[in-house]
Amino acid sequence: MKTILYTTDYSENSAAALKYALKMSQQLGTRLVVGHVFSDIVILGMEGIDKPIPHVEKNFLKEHRTRLEEFCEFHLGKNWASPNLQLQAMENQSVLKGILSIAEEWHAYLIVVGMKGGSGLRELILGSTTKQLIEKAPCPVLAIPADAVYNPLKTIVYASDFEEEDVYAIRKLTEIGELYMSEIKIIHISTEDEYKGQMQLKWFKEILRKKVAYEHIEFKLLFSEDVFGSLQGYLDDVGADIMVMLEREEAGFLKKWFHRDLVKKMETHGKVPLLSFRGSNHQLFYFKEAL
């Protein structure tokens, strides 16, 4: 059975992501692993002790499993438990490494996190660790706003640079599109002096047509100096259920900086769930096999 991994810091802001991940896993028929990474088991100030003590670690694992149970019951109700929902507490001095370890253990094909959090995951959600997770995770990462509610993915917006590497991500998105009967809207927003957008769009359409056989795709090219504002406006106009971006491994310095700045803004100020691919290995969903 395929697995979706959701990680939490027990904060109220992460509750929306839990509910979203549960609804998604139920609709897709996948396993949901609810995970938490903690690091407070080293006893400081005792000579000769510089690593966790087994019985102390066991007690912390038990404590955090109980907290996960309480968190699920509070936000999902008393009947939250099911064979397809598993709890996983893990000790690791690095939240990032802990999440990656859980993802690899369960062979997760999607990691779900909240866009805004507190305590242990604050740096993950609001800081540079989000980028590291996207760059290192063995699967795509889905960030959920604190007030998001799960809706079937009828409208998927993919922010494209109209480059060949976008084709691989879009091809995988069509697997989701077929399951949800989604409209995939491919948008590119450029400044007036960036390049001849219409020519690039025509070239990209031709490449995509050769490699992707999906009817419900449309393209949008906008010119604006305020890329973030224009993108947010477009998401509102089309009623986007999810937005997808490709975290690019190789790009020119200015372009790379610009793209990362946009991703960061979407992660911290976005209103729509943001799905991030890592461009270096064209991660695969294989949603079809989950059903």
pLDDT digits (tens, 9 = 90+) for 215-239: 999 999 988 888 888 888 999 999 9
Cα Rg of the chain, angstroms: 20
pLDDT digits (tens, 9 = 90+) for 11-64: 888 899 999 999 999 998 999 999 999 886 544 444 444 455 555 567 888 999
Superfamily of domain 3-144: HUPs (3.40.50.620)
Give the DSSP H/E element, type plus range, for residue 37: strand 31-38
Q: Which two tokens stand for residue 93?
A: 């001095």
Q: Which residues contact 12 (CB under 8 A, 6 or more apart)?
A: 146
Burial class (CB in 10 A: 0-12, 13-18, 19+), 226: exposed
Shortest CA distance to 179 belongs to which of 17, 9, 21, 28? 28
CATH 3.40.50.620 placement within the chain = 3-144, 155-290
Q: Which two tokens stand for residue 92?
A: 């690791």
CATH number of 155-290: 3.40.50.620
Shortest CA distance to 155 belongs to which of 239, 216, 86, 226? 239
Look up the pTM and report it.
0.83
pLDDT digits (tens, 9 = 90+) for 103-144: 999 999 899 988 764 444 433 444 455 667 877 888 889 989
